[in-house]
Structure 1
Amino acid sequence: MRAVGILEYGGPDVLEVIDRGIPDPGPGELRIRVAAAAVNPTDLMLRSGELADYMAAFEPPFIPGMDVSGTVDAAGAGTLFALGDRVMAFVNPFRPQSGAQAEYVVVSAADTVLVPPGMDLVRAAGLPMNALTAHQALALLGLRSGATLAVTGGAGALGGFVIQLAVHRGLRVVAEAAEQDEPLLKQLGAEIVVPRHAEPTDTPSETPAAAASLAERYRHAVPEGVDALVDAAVLGEGVLGAVRDGGAVVTCRPGALALPRGIVRHELNVMAYPDKAAALTELAALACEGLLSLRTDSLLTPSAAPDAHRRLAAGGVRGRQLVVFNGRRETTAGS
């Protein structure tokens, strides 16, 4: 079978279309004939070698990808799915079989749900990983209806799901955006959109000074401070000024973080999120109701994976890049 493979760590050009044997499912597992698999920031980290410690026990080639859609092709003992079922799943790439970007992938049945009737099978691949991460972020915070939530990186895949899910749960959402993204954030449901840059000469958004400046603009919009913040843009300590005393922050990556004024930190780890199937079932239903948006940027052939990594690293991608194996294949951007 064809797969996107990493034979050695490095830049996007180390990605190759390789040939691997078709895997067999074990007890509690399903084999999916893949329609599409999404490209995620974790894929870039895996390819570059940032996650080499997690892969040290396995031999390359490694296959990236953490979410997938397709049809059940084979089922191990103890599973309740039928052959031909349309499904989507969260995929653990830190295992001997690696990740989702292949013609066939074996997944845990516990991390798999049916794709609802009417949902496009290819586009469904854009839901599992980021939507589950957004679901976990709000579960960790446990905010009551009416609370105020700030979201950095709201125009991205994770941030967008956080905004829509938070609005559905009755939260008041404040998010930052570049000027061209303000209409998108309003469409997603943000009540207040804070300008990303104070002036055209503002320092780059990833610097601590820029994060602190952004925190000031959040405080201007919400003088008492927000109840919690989901830092989907990974801005770090500087943006914590937006949070009220005793509030909370959800971070997307590990690492030291100084917490002032009694702010509580929650760290996302979607790999350890329990009962993914129940959360995915809820998320799929919300997507079918139009309450979560399956924003698709482009449908790509496996050989276009290096370009997808370059675009994601450059920033500004406003939907999911989907690598298509057994479905429609396009290289143009879409919505």
Structure 2
Amino acid sequence: MRAVRYSEFGGPEVLHVAEVPVPEPGPGQIRVRVTASVLHPVDLMVRSGRFPAPLPAGLPYTPGWDVAGTVDAAGPSAGQFTAGDEVVGFSPWLRTTTGTHAEYVVLDAAWLALAPTGVPATEAATLPTNGLAAAQALDLLALPAGSSVLVTGAAGQVGGFLLALARSAGLHATGLAGAGDREFVESLGATFLARSETPTGTYDAVVDLAVAGPSLLNLVRDGGGWVAASPPLRPEPVRGIRTFALEVLPDGSRLSELVKLVTSGDIPLRVAGVYPFADAAAAHDRLASGGVRGGVVIVP
């Protein structure tokens, strides 16, 4: 099968399309024929050699987390899906180094969910990692309906999902984003706040996706909540504020709930561009250029 690979760290030019063996599913695993996958900032960080932690396996790597595709084969004890089912899911790449920018990928069945009906795979592929990150951030906070939450980086991929989920949960969200993102933020029922402005007021919680920093802790009420974008950015608790760090985990059951919200129209899916394997370097350049509003999608 073909896969996007790199055998050395560097710029997008190290990417190439290689022939690699088709993976075989083991117990509890599903082989998915990939229709679409998505590029993430962490893919660029690893490719450039800038990822700060050890990885479980060495080069060469196939990048890619999300997948939308069709069940091709199942290992023993993976019976909840049948051949031909359209599914979505993601590989926790930093733990497995199993990349989805390939014609086939093997994932644990528990990481997959049936894909939203009638949604193109290029759109459905944008849901798993970022949608679950948003859902798990709100799960950590466990805010009751009517609570207020400030979301920085609100127009990004995780931020957009978070605003949509906040609306579904009956939360009052304020989205901090660029001036050109007002329409998008408000379309999700959130109050828009330009990032050029100094946030004021008091919130039950903050989800700091844009790494605005712990200076915003003074906006959180005593006993409120804070979610940082990654573990190293988690601030020390003060005034009884519960602080968490986002570490997205694959969860097929939770993903199935998000799929229902996509189908009902409560969660919008956004695609910034679609690139074939041969143009993977251009996809990396596009994401690195910044200001991307939607998933950068890779297709075989």
Note whether the superposition's TM-score is higher than 0.5: yes
Contact 1:234 1:253 in 2 (8 A): no
SS at match of 1:255: helix
Contact 2:66 2:89 in 1 (8 A): yes
Quote how far apart the aligned CAs of 1:95 are.
5.3
Contact 1:227 1:243 in 2 (8 A): yes
Aligned length: 298
Contact 1:141 1:228 in 2 (8 A): yes
Contact 1:58 1:95 in 2 (8 A): no
Structure 1 counterpart of 2:140:
140
Contact 2:31 2:105 in 1 (8 A): yes
Alignment of structure 1 residues 1-335 onto 2, 5 Å: 1-51=1-51, 53-55=53-55, 57-80=56-79, 81-94=81-94, 98-190=98-190, 192-198=191-197, 217-219=198-200, 223=201, 225-255=202-232, 257-271=235-249, 276-325=251-300
CA offset digits 1:250-306 (Å, max 9, x no partner): 0121215344433221111113x6xx1111110001001110011111111112222
Quote how far apart the aligned CAs of 1:246 are.
2.5
CA offset digits 1:43-71 (Å, max 9, x no partner): 1222122336442x423211111110111
Contact 2:28 2:78 in 1 (8 A): yes
Looking at structure 2, the residues matched to 177 and 93 of structure 1 have their Cα atoms a distance apart, in angstroms, of 28
Contact 2:34 2:69 in 1 (8 A): yes
Q: Structure 2 vs 1, CA of residues 70 and 197 (structure 1 numbering), >3 Å: closer, same or farther?
A: same
Contact 2:66 2:125 in 1 (8 A): yes
Identity %: 43
Looking at structure 2, the residues matched to 17 and 71 of structure 1 have their Cα atoms a distance apart, in angstroms, of 21
Q: What residue identity is the alignment partner of 2:179?
A: E
CA-atom RMSD in angstroms: 1.7
Q: What residue identity is the alignment partner of 2:62?
A: I
Looking at structure 2, the residues matched to 106 and 281 of structure 1 have their Cα atoms a distance apart, in angstroms, of 19
Deviates more, 1:149-158 or 1:232-241: 232-241
Contact 1:153 1:231 in 2 (8 A): yes
Contact 1:59 1:96 in 2 (8 A): no
Q: What residue identity is the alignment partner of 2:70?
A: T
Quote how far apart the aligned CAs of 1:86 are.
0.7
SS at match of 2:240: coil
Could you list the runs of 5+ residues in structure 1 that have no partner in the other structure? 199-216, 326-335
SS at match of 2:93: coil
Deviates more, 1:254-263 or 1:141-150: 254-263
SS at match of 1:283: helix
TM-score by length of 2: 0.94
Q: Structure 2 vs 1, CA of residues 253 and 230 (structure 1 numbering), >3 Å: closer, same or farther?
A: same
Quote how far apart the aligned CAs of 1:7 are.
1.2
Contact 2:3 2:103 in 1 (8 A): yes
SS at match of 2:292: coil
Looking at structure 1, the residues matched to 271 and 8 of structure 2 have their Cα atoms a distance apart, in angstroms, of 29
CA offset digits 1:22-57 (Å, max 9, x no partner): 1111010011110000111221222122336442x4
Contact 2:231 2:247 in 1 (8 A): no
Contact 1:12 1:309 in 2 (8 A): yes
Q: What residue identity is the alignment partner of 1:270?
A: V
SS at match of 1:284: helix
Q: What residue identity is the alignment partner of 2:208?
A: D
TM-score by length of 1: 0.84
SS at match of 1:32: strand
Q: What residue identity is the alignment partner of 2:199?
A: Y
SS at match of 1:229: strand
